[in-house]
Amino acid sequence: MPKGNTPEQVTGMKFPSFFEEDRQEVEAALEPLLPREDTPPASIHRAIRYSVFAGGKRIRPILCLEAARIFDPKSQAALRAGCALEFIHTYSLIHDDLPALDNDDLRRGKPTCHKKFGEATAILAGDALLTLAFATLAEAQVEPARRVAVIREVAAAAGTVDGMVGGQVADLEAQGKDIAPEMLEYIHRSKTAALIRASVVAGALCGGAAEADVAQLGRFGGNIGWAFQVVDDILDVEESSAALGKTAGKDQAQRKATYPALYGLEKSHQMATELATRAIKELEPYGERAQRLRELAEFLVLRRA
Amino acid sequence: MPKGNTPEQVTGMKFPSFFEEDRQEVEAALEPLLPREDTPPASIHRAIRYSVFAGGKRIRPILCLEAARIFDPKSQAALRAGCALEFIHTYSLIHDDLPALDNDDLRRGKPTCHKKFGEATAILAGDALLTLAFATLAEAQVEPARRVAVIREVAAAAGTVDGMVGGQVADLEAQGKDIAPEMLEYIHRSKTAALIRASVVAGALCGGAAEADVAQLGRFGGNIGWAFQVVDDILDVEESSAALGKTAGKDQAQRKATYPALYGLEKSHQMATELATRAIKELEPYGERAQRLRELAEFLVLRRA
């Protein structure tokens, strides 16, 4: 594959038509939320900006934004909440890459934060981004009761009980072991799906959705997030490092608990498709208004050409 | 000094009369906020509980509680907010002790979190406690607008711009260098005073204080927090490791930026006393109602016999 291509060209992913516009909106919103590079102490702000602007696809903010638009096409609060979710996602990548955890040198085709800035700065940059996420949510332009609900959802999704950190711990503990299907499900739902679910829920809350709609979109988000991690497992086996922008085949080398390892590739593809179908079914009541979320779901799970 | 004494006996600290009662109230409130040890994944919850219940004095929660009581003697929200502040304090200790940062083996007389549970678990336990802090604040029993204000204050105090992580970065960068008095002030105010100030401010907010009172108590908290760190510097020089429960003389060994290093011990004592006096002056309008905060201030700064 030729060098210098965009991720889209390299992996042959079909981005939804509105994706680039949303992504640019997110980039523009992220910028003023981060301290400038020369704000003292400058080293931490350089590291934070390096990691946040390392070329993420902004899937979580875009899901947040589009979930809100079902209920309020002009929600500004969702854009801000989406940025907070991107900060949490970025912090989790920085810490996961550390030598004591996954020990990765490469992320999105660039040196990982600790490789570039040292371990101390990387630990603190992750801490700072997690903190900044909640500072950002506290300023979302939506009534305080909804703001608090968003904070509650996001904090739970990032936490240890069925949340991201819990999933990461279980993932580390499962390395090199034969694990049961239930544990694999727990890991994927906690490690990845919880925060994606929270992105959709935060969007719905910011858009003013009623309680039942928030719950319904939560089910969409949970299933699409789960499917997303199954696809991630599959891509780690099927794609080259160049296409992924990170070391491919690492799951197998580290004997990680993955869907392909437990079920094989074909069955994994099938499971991801089933989860995505189940997710998309949750969007039925919203008809045309949910068309973008539908396209996002298809992109996230059926994203290979 | 005989072994097996309580910290109070060893260091000769004079705790205020109400301190033990408050401390027990905080311990009882912390307990149900933390997942049980057997909640999966158990390893992270064991590490979290180990660090939270390692014998901290609960200074931040007690300051929070007593600040609230000036305005509402029965504030339950302040107790909860205080626990969240203790979680943030504990997370900062776990991460500061890591090999890549201060590389400490001993904390409060016990092995540090990474020594006991390994580095990966310690990093994730810190992340989890920071997350749990905001989950806890989101449930404080006070109207949503005040809850959001507390979250904003705490997130800012824990952040990189004049906050705890910023102070920690500056502290690491200053090691082994000759630094200006302004930088030393920045480090101490950010690294330590910001979170102590936030504890007092969170208490005032939870207690229902008016805006001007919140600001006034914020000045008390900022100055007492600053003085507190100056005293910490002094103790690191004057006390033995046994009395401190951590390695003494480490500041000097690491060539840390401290008040004794820059001004000498006598002048440092004098500066701490001046800061405490300035802090206590802010409490004048509250008369008898602020007596406990006054005693806490005296204890925190003039705490040696």
Q: What is the CATH number of the domain that holds A87?
A: 1.10.600.10
Residue in A with minimal Cα distance to B98: A120
How far is residue B6 CA from its own chain's centroid?
20
- The set of residues, in sequence order, having a beta carbon less than 8 Å from that of A270 and lying 6+ positions away, is none
Could you tell me if residue A151 is inside a domain? yes
B119 vs A contacts (CB less than 8 Å): 100
Predicted local confidence at residue A14, as pLDDT: 78
Distance from C-alpha of A158 to C-alpha of B135, rounded to nearest angstrom: 10
Is the entire prediction scored with pTM above 0.80?
Answer: yes
Taking the C-alpha atoms of residue A78 and residue A199, their distance in angstroms, rounded to an integer, is 9
CA distances from A225 to A63, A180, A189, B292 (A): 11, 20, 7, 50
Q: Which of A43, A85, A147, A148 to mutate to test binding with chain B, by most B CBs within 10 Å of its CB? A: A148
For the segment B4-47, what is each residue's pLDDT rounded down to a tens digit? Answer: 334 443 345 678 999 999 999 999 999 999 999 999 999 999 99
- Chain A interface disruption, residue of B169, B172, B185, B190, most A CBs within 10 A: B169
Mean of the pLDDT values across residues B133-153? 98
- In this prediction, residue A304 carries a pLDDT of 56
pLDDT for residue B7? 41
Residues of B in contact with A173 (CB under 8 A): 41, 43
- The answer to whether the CB atoms of B168 and A124 lie below 8 A apart is yes
Q: Work out the pLDDT band at A305, boundaries 50, 70, 90.
A: very low
Q: Which of A39, A97, A124 to mutate to test the interface with B (most CBs of B within 10 A)?
A: A124
Decide if B1 is inside a domain: no
A1 falls within a domain: no
C-beta atoms of B160 and A134 within 8 A: no
Whether residues B44 and A165 touch (CB distance < 8 A) is answered with yes
Residue B45 with chain A: CB contacts under 8 Å: 160
The answer to whether residue A88 scores a pLDDT higher than 80 is yes
Domain for residue B7, yes or no? no
| Closest CA of chain A from B262, distance in Å | 21
pLDDT of res. A2: 35
Residue A260: domain span = 7-301
Chain B nearest-CA residue for A153? B135
Task: Give φ, ψ of B107 to 5 degrees.
Answer: -145, 125
Low-confidence winner among A57-61, B235-239, B262-266 (lowest mean pLDDT): B235-239
* Cβ–Cβ pairs < 8 A, chains A and B: 149
Contact A120 B100 (CB under 8 A): yes
Domain count, chain A: 1
Give one DSSP letter per residue of B99-111, joined into a string.
TTTT--SEETTEE
Judging contacts by C-beta atoms under 8 Å, the chain A residues touching residue B186 are: 40
Residue B145 lies in a domain: yes
Contacts of B32 (CB under 8 A, 6+ apart): none
Which burial class, exposed, middle or buried, applies to B25 when counting CB atoms under 10 A from its CB (0-12, 13-18, 19+)?
A: middle
From the list B44, B123, B152, which residue is nearest A135 (CB)? B152
Q: Which residue has the higher pLDDT, A251 or B90?
A: B90
- The HSE-up count of residue A196 (CA atoms within 13 Å, CB side) is 24
Nearest partner of B62 among B203, B268, B176, judged by Cα: B203
pLDDT above 80: residue A299: yes
Long-range CB contacts (< 8 A, 24+ apart) of A213-220? A213/A71, A216/A282, A216/A285, A217/A67, A217/A70, A217/A282, A219/A279, A219/A282, A220/A279, A220/A280, A220/A282, A220/A283, A220/A293, A220/A297
Contact B95 A158 (CB under 8 A): no
Q: Is residue B111 part of a domain?
A: yes
Q: Between chains, do B166 and A98 touch, taking CB under 8 Å as contact? A: no
**Token pair recorded at residue A144:** 């305080």
Pick the closest to residue A159 from A211, A198, A217 (CA basis). A198
In the predicted model, what is the mean pLDDT of chain A? 92
Whether B205 has a pLDDT exceeding 60, the answer reads yes
| Distance between A94 CA and the closest CA of chain B, angstroms | 11
Q: What's the pLDDT band for A253 if we cut at 50, 70, 90?
A: confident
Is residue A227 included in any domain, yes or no? yes
Average pLDDT, chain B: 92
pLDDT at B243: 67
Q: Read off the pLDDT of residues A174-191 as tens digits, 9 standing for 90 and up.
A: 988 989 999 999 999 999
Is residue B241 predicted with pLDDT exceeding 70? no
Query: How many angstroms separate the CA of residue B54 from the nearest CA in chain A?
Result: 20
Partner residue facing A131 (CB), from B124, B165, B186: B165
| pLDDT score, position B13 | 62
User: pLDDT for B170-181, tens place per residue?
Assistant: 999 998 898 999
Residue bearing the bigger pLDDT, A239 or B189: B189
Interchain pair B43, A101: CB under 8 A: no
Query: What pLDDT is attached to residue B256?
Result: 87
pLDDT tens-digit series, residues A121-169: 999 999 999 999 999 999 999 999 999 999 999 999 999 999 999 999 9
Asked if the Cβ–Cβ distance from A159 to B131 is below 8 Å, we say yes
State ipTM: 0.94
Confidence of residue A10 (pLDDT cuts 50, 70, 90): very low
Q: For testing the chain B interface, which of A131, A171, A177, A205 should be mutated: the one with the most B CBs within 10 Å? A: A131
Q: Looking at the partner chain, which of A41, A98, A173 has a beta carbon nearest the beta carbon of B169?
A: A41
Q: Do B100 and A123 touch (CB under 8 A)?
A: yes
B184 pLDDT band, cuts 50/70/90, is very high
Mark yes or no for CB contact A155/B148 under 8 Å.
no
* pLDDT of A36 over the 60 cut: yes
Mutation target among A127, A162, A190 for the B interface, most CBs of B within 10 A: A127
If pLDDT is split at 50, 70 and 90, which confidence band does B108 have? confident
- Closest-CA distance, B286 to chain A, in angstroms, reads 30
What dihedral do alpha carbons B98, B103, B106, B112 form, nearest 10°? 10
Amino acid at B237: V
Q: Please give the sequence-ordered ranges of beta strands (E in DSSP) within B150-234, or none if there are none.
A: none
Give the residue from chain B lying closest to A157, CA to CA.
B131
Gyration radius from chain A CA atoms: 18
The answer to whether position A2 is within a domain reads no
* CB < 8 Å to A144, chain B: 143-145, 147-148
Distance separating alpha carbons of residues B171 and A194, to the nearest angstrom:
35
Instruction: Give the mean model confidence (pLDDT) for residues A88-96.
Output: 98
